[in-house]
Homo-oligomer: A and B are copies of this chain.
Amino acid sequence: MRPLVRQPALPEEMPGSRRNMLRAACALAGAACLPAWVTASAQGAAEPLDEHVAFRRVVAANRILANESVVDAFGHVSVRDPRDPSRYVMSHARSPALVEYADLMEFQQDGTPLDPRGRRAYGERMIHGAVYEARPDVNAVVHHHAYSVIPFAVSDIPLVPLTHTAAVIGSEIPVWDIAAHFGDTDTLVRTMEIGRDLAAVLADNTCLLMRGHGAVVVGATVQQAVLSAIYLEVNARILAQTLALTDTLKALSAVEVELARATQFSPLGAERAWEYYCRRAGVEPI
């Protein structure tokens, strides 16, 4: 699964101006100090590269999830590299609220950083690699410890979708317990072996709860993973409030979940939500 050919590093955030600055700065030192993609891009199309958009969305996703209290000091977001599906991109080990474009790093699927430059990687990046390995349909992964989901991660109460906007979380949300196969640990997914164990329990679902730890949420796009992560948190709050009042509730049917999910992920739903959550987080929608 490992890529054999090393690809160029990440594009800079503001291609126009920063490239010009880079070029000016490099004029004295020679073209060698320009990253390969700058040269490539300068030779190529004027349009923004796909991966450029994808990577900026990862930055936006970090800010959004922090702003919506899905993540706190901890948690992370990745995107599969559109240029090489065996790689993924995420920030170095930094709180999501603070992530800038320049914080992004690229990893091989097994978690090996391509260009670490002394930066510390998230200890749990193996979650991302293992999910990308197991799920070709997944292009974005969120890992978080949202407070409202923990009650469902430490008990046997199923986290069922109660309302149509939360249908994006899917009908089934399995709970994975690291202790089942790995005994007493710090509960972190530190190896591909542990990550594969988690991915097997995730199966083809969108969300998974980690006992005593948090959750994993996946999506075909960064926007879908972010929406599902936000509404997993919302639905957990609503469900807890409902269960504090009654044990007799009517959740969405499996068919309603599929139909409502399609609606929420249609442009009618997803674009409206993405613009909203970007603006709330002070991020320019892209």
A residues with CB within 8 A of B: 72-74, 93-95, 97-98, 120, 123, 145, 147-148, 150-151, 153-157, 162-165, 167, 177, 179, 184-188, 211-214, 234, 237-238, 240-246, 248-253, 255-256, 259-260, 262-263, 267-269, 272-273, 275-277, 279-280
Looking at the assembled complex, report how far the CB atom of A56 sits from the nearest CB atom of chain B, in whole angstroms.
Answer: 20
A213-B214 Cα distance, complex, nearest whole Å: 26
Q: Is the Cβ of B250 less than 8 Å from the Cβ of A240? A: no
Known contacts A163-B145, A243-B245, A245-B240; A123 and B263 CB within 8 A of each other = yes
Q: Which residues of B contact A260 (CB under 8 A)?
A: 186-188
- Copies of this chain in the oligomer: 4
Which chain B residue has the least Cβ–Cβ distance from A147? B238
Looking at the assembled complex, report how far the CB atom of A267 sits from the nearest CB atom of chain B, in whole angstroms.
Answer: 8
In this complex, the member of A72, A164, A263 whose beta carbon has the largest number of chain B beta carbons within 10 angstroms is A164
Q: Is the Cβ of A272 less than 8 Å from the Cβ of B187? A: no
Q: Is the Cβ of A165 less than 8 Å from the Cβ of B151? A: no
Known contacts A93-B268, A120-B268, A268-B120; A188 and B164 CB within 8 A of each other = yes
Which chain B residue has the least Cβ–Cβ distance from A277? B73
Q: Which residues of B contact A95 (CB under 8 A)?
A: 272-273, 275-276, 279
Q: Which residues of B contact A184 (CB under 8 A)?
A: 253, 255-256, 259
- Show 29 residue pairs from A and B whose CB-CB distance is below 8 angstroms, ordered by the A residue: A73-B276, A74-B165, A74-B269, A95-B275, A97-B276, A120-B267, A147-B241, A151-B238, A151-B246, A154-B242, A154-B249, A155-B242, A155-B245, A155-B248, A155-B250, A156-B248, A164-B186, A164-B187, A167-B186, A177-B250, A179-B253, A179-B256, A184-B253, A186-B260, A187-B259, A212-B250, A240-B244, A244-B244, A244-B245
Q: Is the Cβ of B187 less than 8 Å from the Cβ of A256? A: yes
Known contacts A242-B151, A250-B212, A263-B123; A256 and B186 CB within 8 A of each other = yes
Known contacts A188-B164, A238-B147, A279-B98; A73 and B155 CB within 8 A of each other = no
Q: Which residues of B contact A280 (CB under 8 A)?
A: 97
Looking at the assembled complex, report how far the CB atom of A274 sits from the nearest CB atom of chain B, in whole angstroms.
Answer: 9
Looking at the assembled complex, report how far the CB atom of A199 sits from the nearest CB atom of chain B, in whole angstroms.
Answer: 20
A162-B150 Cα distance, complex, nearest whole Å: 8
A177-B234 Cα distance, complex, nearest whole Å: 21
